[in-house]
Amino acid sequence: MKRLVMITSMALMAGIMISACQTQTEQLFETRWAGANLEEIIASMENQFGGFDQTMMETNYRYNELYWAGVDGNWAYAAYQLDEMLGSLEKGFIRRPARESSADQFVNTAAPRLLATIESGDQEAFMDGFTQFAASCNTCHAMEDVPFIQMIIPETRTSLVKFTH
């Protein structure tokens, strides 16, 4: 659903931009909430996509799903969640490019290391690897001057997905 909303919004924005490029005069648009001219509409769209906070909300969700997938030995779901987490971060870096350097160690070291553990299907190695993964999250938070955001190993299952063999 999120992707559909994002694709629809991006298509709307692209259509507006193409339309605006075809004329030299100020063009007025009828929208319910986005604005009356191209500048207002773009500002509204950027505001709707948010900054890095939306990325972190999705990352938190995927972090929890990833952990419980590993606990369950649901390796395909764990790999899926890690991939989706990285995709969310990539979109966040487009909106906030300054965040990317802090996340470099997470994206290029911690995530591939955890993926290798997931692919091995070794649950004990996964649990050790996830602890290192969480520490990598906290390193990034410290680099972004938000050390009070501390990722822990989840203690309570909130996921509605549970893999049974």
Render pLDDT for 75-120 as a digit per residue (tens, 0 to 9).
999 999 999 999 999 999 998 999 999 999 999 999 999 999 999 9
Q: Does 84 lie in the same domain as 73?
A: yes
Q: Does 138 lie in the same domain as 60?
A: yes
Q: Does 103 lie in the same domain as 65?
A: yes
Domain region containing 100: 52-143
Q: Is residue 160 part of a domain?
A: no
Q: Is residue 22 part of a domain?
A: yes
Q: Does 106 lie in the same domain as 64?
A: yes
Q: Does 77 lie in the same domain as 35?
A: no
Please name the residues in contact with 111: beta carbons below 8 A apart, sequence gap of 6 or more: 82, 85, 86, 133
Q: Is residue 119 part of a domain?
A: yes
Please name the residues in contact with 49: beta carbons below 8 A apart, sequence gap of 6 or more: 6, 9, 95
**Residues in the chain with pLDDT < 50?**
none
Q: Is residue 157 part of a domain?
A: no
pLDDT at 120: 97
Q: Does 74 lie in the same domain as 40?
A: no
Q: Does 129 lie in the same domain as 63?
A: yes
Q: Does 45 lie in the same domain as 57?
A: no
pTM assigned to the model: 0.76
Q: Is residue 159 part of a domain?
A: no
**Domain total of the chain:** 2
Q: Does 13 lie in the same domain as 76?
A: no
Q: Does 72 lie in the same domain as 122?
A: yes
Q: Can you tell me the distance from the alpha carbon of 58 to that of 60, in angstroms, rounded to the nearest whole number? A: 5
pLDDT at 127: 96
pLDDT at 46: 79
pLDDT at 68: 96
Q: Is residue 156 part of a domain?
A: no
Q: Does 17 lie in the same domain as 72?
A: no
Q: Does 98 lie in the same domain as 32?
A: no
